């Protein structure tokens, strides 16, 4: 039990809030790293996910690729890339982007697939161009599930970003690695608690965003027509994504 | 006038949905395509706004081959009403109705004002304008769907089983509403249904379809009822049974109509001049 008290003592120790390795600096590094990783992963995954959801093509390939990417051990990939590009932040960015792509990709296309086919068909039949169907119908209606995917990715990245410290003097993972080396378990546990708190904070932020982006007509009372949601089974959907969907 | 000329449609999976179909649909009249599932009726309807392109043959609207028209532009000039309304769930009623005018570049303010007026036309309270589709009943949603279809004042209105998913009472109400609208507006309506009663009620011209879009019979409801072209038609419209086969019985000095099951269908009223038999229920 004492070790928790020590860890809390470590977190609250004013000495840890000054100098180059100060907690606020590490937290910001960690957050910035997570954010940038999500941005890069989104830039790759969202266009593909939208294309798959819009055309209905390439889904099988996406599921297989996502599965493959997920199966890669992040530490192994990190080491491999680090051997190639060298010590520094390059390798963690690559490894963590690979980790973040599958949930974002799944969120992007699952969001489109969950939309009532009738609404999309009607939008096209009354004269919306493909671009208009995408921007005026599919993206607004698919957004909640996409945010769900981002939320899931953010959680994985913020937790796994501790590995960045394996090849760089960077982020909250530094406390874990240095604590391990010096057998300073208070520092290790303190660092872990900080990561957990950060993850919980991100969860709260994304949960809020996810609620806010649900279009009003969809969020309001479910009167007779609620076929949209149950219309199609969604094989391959990640539980992590569905759980946040109200 | 819409003309189908030897139109065929084979889907990529090999299904021949429509085979060598020719038909003229007169302007300002309601043509009903009626048939069971697999008769290609919806495919035929969707060819008119190029949601489906034929694999052979051509379709002309007022003499213009629609294959030469840009699909998106063509669709914006044709009203489209479908089953389950197909409204955009994230847009308010008024914005749903204004969808196509906005796509055509009508200023937002005018589009909204027109949309409100259109709600009056289809018999919806303006108070519903700021609701979302999920907050309306099925019948109200269908009315919004009709309002959206009419919003650009199209010459042609395509209706794909628009009243198929509402309960019988609301359906009857919507059918009467459509008859009233059509008397006022005189659109070229193409209506698809599998319900023969609906077809006879709404259609000036009724087209009975068999599998593969083969035409079993074309004619006015009275023509078809009086002279079914063959056994398929007779059986499809139920001319040989039930409530379609009525005979007169004398009861207490009045003529009552009785169907083939012996059920009372109504009373014969007025001087029955030829072709003017009124049945009141």
Which of A126, A140, A223 has the CB atom closest to B99's CB atom?
Answer: A126
C-alpha closest to that of B157 among B139, B127, B129, B178: B178
Nearest-Cα distance to chain B for A131, in Å, is 11
CB contact under 8 A, B84 and A225: yes
Please name the residues between 83 and 122 in chain B that touch chain A, using a CB distance below 8 Å.
83-92, 99-100, 103-104
Nearest CA in chain B to A222: B134
User: Which residues, listed in sequence order, are joined to residue B219 by a DSSP beta bridge?
Assistant: B206
**B72: burial class by Cβ within 10 Å (0-12, 13-18, 19+)?**
middle
CB contact under 8 A, B75 and A140: no
Is residue A170, in this structure, part of any structural domain at all? yes
Is residue A226, in this structure, part of any structural domain at all? no
Reported ipTM:
0.83
- Ordered strands of the B64-65 beta sheet: B16-25, B2-10, B56-61, B64-65
CB contact under 8 A, B99 and A141: no
State the Cα–Cα distance between residues B278 and B88, nearest whole angstrom: 43
- C-alpha distances (whole Å) from B45 to each of A42, B33, B39, B214 are 41, 8, 12, 14
Is residue A5, in this structure, part of any structural domain at all? no
Using DSSP, state whether B23 is helix, strand or coil: strand
Which of A121, A128, A227 has the CB atom closest to B103's CB atom?
Answer: A128
- C-alpha distances (whole Å) from B171 to each of A60, A66, B161, B197, B236 are 42, 47, 11, 12, 21
Q: What single string gives the DSSP state of each residue in A50-97?
A: HHHHHH--SHHHHHHHHHHHHHS-HHHHHHHHHHHH-SSSHHHHHHHH
Which of A125, A223, A224 has the CB atom closest to B75's CB atom?
Answer: A125
Is residue A156, in this structure, part of any structural domain at all? yes
State the Cα–Cα distance between residues A16 and A5, nearest whole angstrom: 16
Nearest-Cα distance to chain A for B132, in Å, is 5
State the Cα–Cα distance between residues B158 and B49, nearest whole angstrom: 9
Residues in chain B, pLDDT under 70: 270-281
Nearest-Cα distance to chain A for B114, in Å, is 17
DSSP state of B245: S
Is residue A45, in this structure, part of any structural domain at all? yes
- C-alpha distances (whole Å) from B181 to each of A86, A231, B143, B218 are 75, 33, 12, 24
pLDDT at A224: 43
Q: Which residues contact A118 (CB under 8 A, 6 or more apart)?
A: B82, B83, B84, B85, B86
Provide, as residue numbers in chain B, all residues whose Cβ is less than 8 Å from the Cβ of A219: none
Nearest CA in chain A to B103: A128
Using DSSP, state whether B256 is helix, strand or coil: strand
For residue B20, the surrounding DSSP H or E stretch is strand B16-25
- C-alpha distances (whole Å) from B144 to each of A225, B92, B156, B183 are 14, 11, 17, 19
CB contact under 8 A, B84 and A224: no
CATH code of the domain covering residue A26:
1.10.3720.10
Is residue A234, in this structure, part of any structural domain at all? no
pLDDT at B246: 83
Is residue A205, in this structure, part of any structural domain at all? yes
* Crossing angle for the helix pair A74-85 and A90-113, to the nearest 10 degrees: 130
pLDDT at A206: 95
Tokens matching residue B78: 């044709």
Tokens matching residue B77: 């000039």
Contact B148, B100 (CB under 8 A): yes
Q: Which domain holds residue A195?
A: 17-218
Tokens matching residue A162: 């501790």
Residues on chain A bordering chain B, Cβ-to-Cβ distance under 8 angstroms: 116, 118-119, 121-129, 132, 136-137, 140-141, 215-218, 220-228
**Is the pTM above the cut of 0.95?**
no
pLDDT tens per residue across span B94-113: 999 999 999 999 999 999 99
Is residue A6, in this structure, part of any structural domain at all? no
CB contact under 8 A, B89 and A141: yes
Which of B76, B91, B137 has the CB atom closest to A224's CB atom?
Answer: B137
Residues in chain A, pLDDT under 50: 221-246
Q: What is the CB neighbour count within 10 angstroms for residue A171?
A: 28
Nearest-Cα distance to chain A for B83, in Å, is 8
For strands B264-269 and B254-259, give the pairing: antiparallel
pLDDT tens per residue across span A127-184: 999 999 999 999 999 999 999 999 999 999 999 999 988 888 889 999 999 999 999 9
**B130: burial class by Cβ within 10 Å (0-12, 13-18, 19+)?**
exposed
State the Cα–Cα distance between residues B148 and B135, nearest whole angstrom: 17
Could you list the beta-strand ranges (E) of chain A: none
C-alpha closest to that of A206 among A139, A146, A161: A146
Quote the number of domains for chain A. 1
Provide, as residue numbers in chain A, all residues whose Cβ is less than 8 Å from the Cβ of B89: 116, 119, 141, 215, 217-218, 228
């Amino acid at each position: 039990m004492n070790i928790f008290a020590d860890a809390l003592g470590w977190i609250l120790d004013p000495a840890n809030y000054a100098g180059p390795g100060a907690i606020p600096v590490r937290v910001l590094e960690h957050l910035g790293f997570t954010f940038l990783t999500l941005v890069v992963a989104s830039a790759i995954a969202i266009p593909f996910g939208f294309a798959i959801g819009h055309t209905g093509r390439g889904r099988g390939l996406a599921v297989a690729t996502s599965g493959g990417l997920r199966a890669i051990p992040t530490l192994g990939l990190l080491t491999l890339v680090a051997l190639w590009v060298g010590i520094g932040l390059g390798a963690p960015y690559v490894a963590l982007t690979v980790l973040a792509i599958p949930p974002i990709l799944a969120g992007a296309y699952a969001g489109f697939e969950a939309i009532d086919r009738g609404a999309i068909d009607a939008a096209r039949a009354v004269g919306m161009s493909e671009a208009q169907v995408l921007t005026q119908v599919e993206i607004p209606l698919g957004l909640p599930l996409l945010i769900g995917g981002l939320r899931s990715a953010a959680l994985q990245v913020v937790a796994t970003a501790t590995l960045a410290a394996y090849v760089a003097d960077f982020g909250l993972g530094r406390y874990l690695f240095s604590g391990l080396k010096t057998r300073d378990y208070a520092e290790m546990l303190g660092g872990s608690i900080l990561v957990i708190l950060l993850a919980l904070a991100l969860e709260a932020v994304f949960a809020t965003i996810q609620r806010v982006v649900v279009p009003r007509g969809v969020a309001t009372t479910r009167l007779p027509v609620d076929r949209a949601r149950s219309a199609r089974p969604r094989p391959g959907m990640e539980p992590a994504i569905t759980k946040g969907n109200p | 006038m819409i003309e189908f000329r030897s139109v065929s449609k084979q889907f990529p999976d090999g299904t021949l949905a429509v085979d060598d179909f020719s038909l003229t649909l007169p302007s300002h009249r309601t043509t009903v395509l009626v048939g069971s599932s697999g008769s290609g009726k919806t495919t035929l309807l969707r060819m008119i706004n190029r949601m489906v392109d034929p694999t052979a043959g051509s379709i002309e609207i007022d003499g213009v081959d629609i294959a030469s028209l840009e699909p998106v532009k063509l669709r914006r000039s044709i009203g489209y009403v479908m089953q389950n309304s197909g409204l955009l769930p994230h847009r308010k009623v008024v914005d749903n109705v204004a969808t196509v005018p906005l796509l055509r570049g009508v200023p937002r303010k005018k589009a909204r004002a027109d949309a409100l007026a259109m709600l009056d036309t289809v018999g919806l309270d303006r108070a519903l304008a700021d609701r979302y589709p999920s907050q309306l009943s099925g019948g109200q949603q269908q009315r919004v769907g009709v309002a959206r279809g009419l919003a650009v004042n199209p010459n042609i209105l395509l209706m794909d089983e628009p009243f198929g998913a509402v309960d019988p009472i609301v359906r009857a109400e919507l059918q009467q509403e459509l008859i009233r609208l059509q008397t006022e507006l005189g659109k070229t309506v193409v209506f698809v249904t599998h319900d023969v009663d609906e077809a006879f009620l709404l259609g000036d011209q009724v087209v009975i379809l068999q599998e593969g879009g083969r035409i079993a019979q074309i004619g006015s409801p009275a023509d078809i009822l009086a002279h079914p072209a063959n056994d398929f038609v007779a059986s499809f419209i139920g001319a040989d049974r039930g409530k379609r086969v009525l005979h007169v019985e004398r009861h207490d000095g009045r003529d009552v109509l009785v169907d083939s099951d012996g059920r009372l269908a109504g009373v014969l009223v007025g001087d029955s001049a030829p072709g003017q038999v009124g049945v009141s229920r």
